[in-house]
Amino acid sequence: MYPRAFHYHRAGSMKEAVTMLTQLGDDAKLLAGGQSLIPLMKLRFASPRHLVDLNFISGTSYVKEENNELRFGALTRHAEIEASPTATKIPILHDCAAGIADVQVRNRGTIGGSLAEADPSGDWATVLMTLSTEVCCLGTKGSRTVPLRDFIKDAYTTALTHDELVSEVVVKNPPQGSGGAYLAFKRSAPVYPTASAAVQLTLEGDVCQDAAIALGCVGLTAIKAKEAEAALGGQRINEKTMAATIEAARAAADPQSDMRGSADYKRALVGALVKRAIEVAVRRARGERVEVSHIYA
């Protein structure tokens, strides 16, 4: 189906895009990679009268390291992050970027668009929740920085006001001795995962000093599995702590039965994915180079 007719506006700067949003009102939408918005428009679930295109603004696509932080321009494509040696310094970021859909989607879709969309099945929010992540928002009143945990409010709902956009995503480098992994179970590459798990932990010897665990596609937003984190944090990693962590992660999941699988099936997947992600995260924290890819049905 074709989308309803709309007016196309090309912004020359992020500031100009904000001005356009303010002037055009509620019927205006930003266009980044178009990988969520265009399908919604074609299905006529979204029919904005005005599209403000961000794609021709220079300097909005980058991955750089400054002051012990990685900074991603809002228009940075998943594929650029996948290929970036700087982003790969935090291996869980590479796991995420490389596993999103297929190469066509990764070449167009952006990290800013993905967070702004706040799709419950989107990979970036799940992964970035295990790291110290801030979202820089630009609006008519200037810039503000929102921690990711406060940015995602609900399914498809963020802290952005209508005249605000995401300008940058900032991730703190994890401390020495850290490792992470992101694993998803998918029916095929160009679909969202059935369930996913992100684990980022810091080791001192055999003891897990700190653990962050987030679950994707099993709730209305990515879920921070706090009880599971508590079961692993401060503990020696052995069969007993692994079992307690996995059980707590399964309990934290809040899946719906749908075409991707029953709620029970997704909960079982969560247990298996968290276990595998912890195993890879531990090996990476010990300095091993470990390649992972998502698991396909």
Ligand X SMILES: Cc1cc2nc3c(=O)[nH]c(=O)nc-3n(C[C@H](O)[C@H](O)[C@H](O)COP(=O)(O)OP(=O)(O)OC[C@H]3O[C@@H](n4cnc5c(N)ncnc54)[C@H](O)[C@@H]3O)c2cc1C
List of residues contacting ligand X (CB under 6 A) = 29-37, 39, 54, 74, 100-101, 105, 108-110, 112-114, 116-117, 119, 122-124, 160, 165-166, 190, 192
- Nearer of residues 157 and 234 to ligand X, judged by Cβ: 157
* CB neighbour list of residue 265: distance below 8 Å, 6 or more residues apart: 194
- Nearer of residues 72 and 179 to ligand X, judged by Cβ: 72
Nearest approach in angstroms of CB 35 to ligand X is 3
Nearest approach in angstroms of CB 247 to ligand X is 27
Nearest approach in angstroms of CB 194 to ligand X is 11
Residues facing residue 178 across a β-bridge: 202
- Nearer of residues 117 and 229 to ligand X, judged by Cβ: 117
Return the SS3 of 84.
coil
Compute the Cα dihedral for 242, 252, 126, 208 and give only its sign.
Answer: negative
- Nearer of residues 18 and 231 to ligand X, judged by Cβ: 18
- Nearer of residues 199 and 246 to ligand X, judged by Cβ: 199
Nearest approach in angstroms of CB 236 to ligand X is 34
* CB neighbour list of residue 91: distance below 8 Å, 6 or more residues apart: 179, 180, 181, 284, 290
Nearest approach in angstroms of CB 149 to ligand X is 18
Buried residues in 234-255 as b, exposed as e (16+ CB within 10 A) = ebebeeebbebbbebbbebbeb
Report the C-alpha gap between 177 and 255 in whole angstroms: 33
- Nearer of residues 198 and 203 to ligand X, judged by Cβ: 198
Report the C-alpha gap between 220 and 31 in whole angstroms: 24
- Nearer of residues 55 and 86 to ligand X, judged by Cβ: 55
Nearest approach in angstroms of CB 241 to ligand X is 30
Residues facing residue 145 across a β-bridge: 136
Q: Which residue is nearest to ligand X (CB)?
A: 109
Q: Which phi and psi (to 5°) does residue 16 adopt?
A: -65, -35
Compute the Cα dihedral for 125, 129, 131, 132 and give only its sign.
Answer: positive
- Cα three-residue angle 254-259-264, rounded to 5 degrees: 40
Whole-angstrom CA distances from 190 to 27, 69, 90, 168, 270 are 30, 31, 24, 26, 21
Nearest approach in angstroms of CB 80 to ligand X is 12
